[in-house]
Structure 1
Amino acid sequence: MSLTQAQIEQARARVPRAFHLPLALRLRRIALWTLFAGLMLYCLWVFNFSPTRIWIGLGRLGDVLGFMFPPYIWKSWTEFSEILKGLGETLSIAFMGTLLGAVVAFPLSFLGAKNINRLNGLRLGVRRGYDIIRAFETLILALIFIRAFGLGPLAGILAIAVSEVGTFAKLFSEAIENTSTKPIDGVKASGGTRFQQIRFGIAPQVNPVILSILLYNFESNVRSGTILGIVGAGGIGFLLSDRISAYKWDEAWSIIFLIIAMVYVIDHLSGIIRARIIGDWEGTK
């Protein structure tokens, strides 16, 4: 279907920017793209990026990967039990850190939800507290707790727990704020107290969301626990760092493979738990 010149002119009059952008807008776009390109080139220059350096690095990376194959196979139970103990410590650190963080964050999340806490000053102060806690990286917290409590899994557990308090409290409070008011009104109309409104009106709506958040962060904390072990907070990361420092690349690759397998198993089990619990919840609505 062809358009007449008159129809084109009418369309141009209705939406002129679809045919020709104003000069000011075009200059603004050019300036923004120029700034973006300049910032990118500056970062490459500051970080000493060059094709030669990348090519040399890829060659060295190939050498490291070559040292990793074939993977190392532990020949005695004594050697392998040490690795299993490290994996168990990492899993325990992630589990305890996630659990402690959730226990502390759950009541704090109600103070940060605007449909629960009507005191704006208190609510905003609590939310800023979430931000302050989340500003500290888990690795930094681990170094602080290692200084305070010494080397070992305790420092890793506390680092993950404190970090997750800020994350969980923020996510839980947002989930609480996004709940429907109809179940709450129903409980209120039947004479329910404020606690009962939260228990029977809000909790059934946010429980599946909270479960998903907990399971996902637990998977993430298993990976974080590996990094914390490298700085001395216990777990498999310490053994991995030790093997890399000793240039035992084949054994390091075997440990990395076991970490990947552990994360995969946890992800699979989390999916099963999420499907069963959330499925039951949906069936009762």
Structure 2
Amino acid sequence: MMRLNQHGISTLEAAQRYPEIFSVRWRQRAMQSLAWGSALAALLYGLVIFDFSPVRIWNGIGQLGMLVRFMVPPATAPSVVWEFLQAIFETLAMAFLGTLFAALLAIPFAFLSARNVFRFRLGRFGVRRGMDFLRGVDQLVWALVFVRAVGLGPLAGVLAIIISDIGTLAKLFSEAVEGCDRKPGEGVAASGGNTLQCTRFGILPQVLPMFISSTLYIFESNVRSATILGIVGAGGIGYQLSERIRGHHWEEVATILILILVTVYLIDWVSGKIRGRLIEGE
């Protein structure tokens, strides 16, 4: 029996009258099937080339359990803990300085990347591609470059964070600038303000909370990133961690991991309080 819709037209007649609608549906189904098939093929390919087998995972869990037994109890000697705390403070200083300078340097690039501020399309394109390059190279790669350029130590880590985060923050800031309301800026312009004054009094007050929120989030991320940067010689707690792992001092490795976890938790808690106080008005 032929099925009729609410207008008394059968599905066959509707397909003949409006072929573009039904062809789009079939194309959508074909694209969805292709997408799911590609994802499944990529999954199977990854499992095969990486030798993802239950036996390897089970053996890895056994090795991990052995390392955990070596870490208990953690090292608690005051001299050892104080040395690690100094390295933690060094890591925090790296993350703070890198994030601060990156945020300050990203602000002008953000306005130059925004369509509603910088109208020159070719110049805006060049600024955006430059920011893509900076954030497209991982911090670890930048750290290796700066370790070679300025030598071992926290300075290489700070420079790596600055260069990488300028591109990231400029992207986030420019999106906030492009999404702001134009009316305050138009009001400043109607009062006789120039472009700089329109940006300062019409746009910046709107986007400043977003700037602060993004910067705080990047700082939280950089605290963890600075730990990894130390492994390649950029100083901080990461350098101490890599040295203890090479020397198989697993009880000291446990102490470092505990200090890192506590530090990251405290940073997340303080950052949340600051966002609530300055941005959400709590």
Shared fold (TM-score greater than 0.5)? yes
- Say which of 70, 75, 84 aligns to 1:72: 75
Q: Aligned in 2, Cα 1:165/1:250: closer, same or farther, shift over 3 Å? A: same
Hey, what's the Cα distance between the residues in 2 that align with 1:164 and 1:123? 19
Q: Is residue 98 from structure 1 mapped to residue 99 from structure 2 by the alignment? A: yes
Hey, what's the Cα distance between the residues in 1 that align with 2:120 and 2:210? 25
User: 1:34-49 residue pairs with structure 2 within 5 A?
Assistant: 34-49=37-52
Q: How many percent of aligned residue pairs carry the same amino acid? A: 49
Q: CA deviation at 1:255?
A: 0.9
Q: CA deviation at 1:242?
A: 1.3
State the SS of the aligned residue for 1:231.
helix
Hey, what's the Cα distance between the residues in 2 that align with 1:12 and 1:267? 58
Q: Which residue of 2 aligns with 1:195?
A: 196
Q: Aligned in 2, Cα 1:250/1:125: closer, same or farther, shift over 3 Å? A: same
User: 1:52-63 residue pairs with structure 2 within 5 A?
Assistant: 52-63=55-66
Q: Is residue 186 from structure 1 mapped to residue 219 from structure 2 by the alignment? A: no
Q: Render the CA deviation track for 1:123-153: whole Å, top value 9, x for unaligned.
A: 0111011111111110000001000111000
* Structure 2: tracts of 5 or more residues without a match: none
Hey, what's the Cα distance between the residues in 2 that align with 1:90 and 1:37? 41
Q: Render the CA deviation track for 1:6-45: whole Å, top value 9, x for unaligned.
A: 55876957799xx9x9777656554443333222222111
State the SS of the aligned residue for 1:123.
helix
Hey, what's the Cα distance between the residues in 2 that align with 1:234 and 1:206? 35
Q: TM-score, normalised by structure 1?
A: 0.88
Question: Structure 2: which amino acid aligns with 1:224?
Answer: S
Hey, what's the Cα distance between the residues in 2 that align with 1:50 and 1:7? 52
* Structure 1: tracts of 5 or more residues without a match: none
Q: Is residue 51 from structure 1 mapped to residue 54 from structure 2 by the alignment? A: yes
State the SS of the aligned residue for 2:279.
helix
Q: Aligned in 2, Cα 1:192/1:24: closer, same or farther, shift over 3 Å? A: closer
Q: Which residue of 2 aligns with 1:112?
A: 113
Question: Structure 2: which amino acid aligns with 1:50?
Answer: S
Aligned residues between the structures: 276
User: 1:166-245 residue pairs with structure 2 within 5 A?
Assistant: 166-245=167-246
Q: CA deviation at 1:218?
A: 0.3
Determine if contact 2:185/2:199 at 8 Å carries over to the other structure. yes
Q: Render the CA deviation track for 1:36-60: whole Å, top value 9, x for unaligned.
A: 3222222111112222111111111
Q: Is residue 162 from structure 1 mapped to residue 163 from structure 2 by the alignment? A: yes
Determine if contact 2:4/2:11 at 8 Å carries over to the other structure. no
What is the root-mean-square deviation in Å for CA atoms of aligned residues? Answer: 2.7
